[in-house]
């Protein structure tokens, strides 16, 4: 019985290592992403070039992902149409792409609630020095409202997305 349990645990560990290290399809070289669609309920970020889907990424979201972000600290990922408005190669979470949240509508809603709308919504990688977690980060929603990818996936998007690129975030 002990040997069977050890064998099963060994297989689980080997399977987990293979899952985390198995390479995924990369974007073709020199691909220019001109539209990003995020489907929160599917935990997917879809990257388009010239109206053609070129890659689908699995993402993690905010701790409380259902519904549109209304104020700072609600742990929600916003919904709506925004743009990529910044690129930071020196982020505390590997690299990141900034999202233009909050817009005027978001600010007005937060004001009605008597709250700060927040900001700093990003597409980012893992916290610096934790990149080894890799694909395991997908198992939980752990951000404060951002969209998280593996470090290598963020590198890929970072190189392929220009400031001003449209991003649509749906429920």
Omega into 11 within 30° of 0, i.e. cis? no
Q: Clarify whether 146 is annotated catalytic.
A: yes
- Where b means 16+ CB within 10 Å and e means fewer, 72-86 reads bebbbbbbbebbbee
Active-site choice (30, 68, 94, 124) = 124
Token pair, residue 128, equals: 């610096």
Q: Clarify whether 68 is annotated catalytic.
A: no
Residue for token pair 């809603």: 109
Which region, left, alpha or beta, applies to residue 51 given φ > 0 means left and ψ of -120 to 50 means alpha? left
Active-site choice (30, 68, 94, 146) = 146
The catalytic residues are 124, 146
């Amino acid at each position: 019985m002990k040997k069977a349990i050890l064998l099963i645990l060994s297989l689980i560990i080997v399977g987990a290592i293979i899952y985390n290290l198995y390479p995924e399809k990369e974007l073709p070289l020199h691909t220019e992403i001109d539209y990003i669609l995020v489907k929160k309920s599917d935990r997917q970020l879809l990257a388009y070039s010239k109206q053609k889907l070129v890659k689908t990424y699995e993402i993690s979201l905010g701790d409380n992902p259902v519904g549109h972000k209304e104020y700072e600290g609600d742990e929600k990922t916003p919904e709506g149409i925004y743009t990529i408005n910044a690129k930071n190669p020196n982020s505390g979470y590997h690299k990141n792409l900034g999202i233009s949240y909050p817009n005027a509508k978001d600010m007005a809603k937060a004001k009605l609630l008597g709250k700060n709308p927040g900001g700093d919504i990003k597409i980012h990688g893992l916290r610096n020095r934790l990149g080894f977690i890799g694909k395991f980060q997908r198992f939980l929603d752990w951000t404060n409202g951002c969209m998280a990818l593996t470090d290598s996936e963020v590198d890929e998007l970072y190189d392929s997305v220009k400031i001003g690129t449209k991003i649509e975030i749906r429920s």
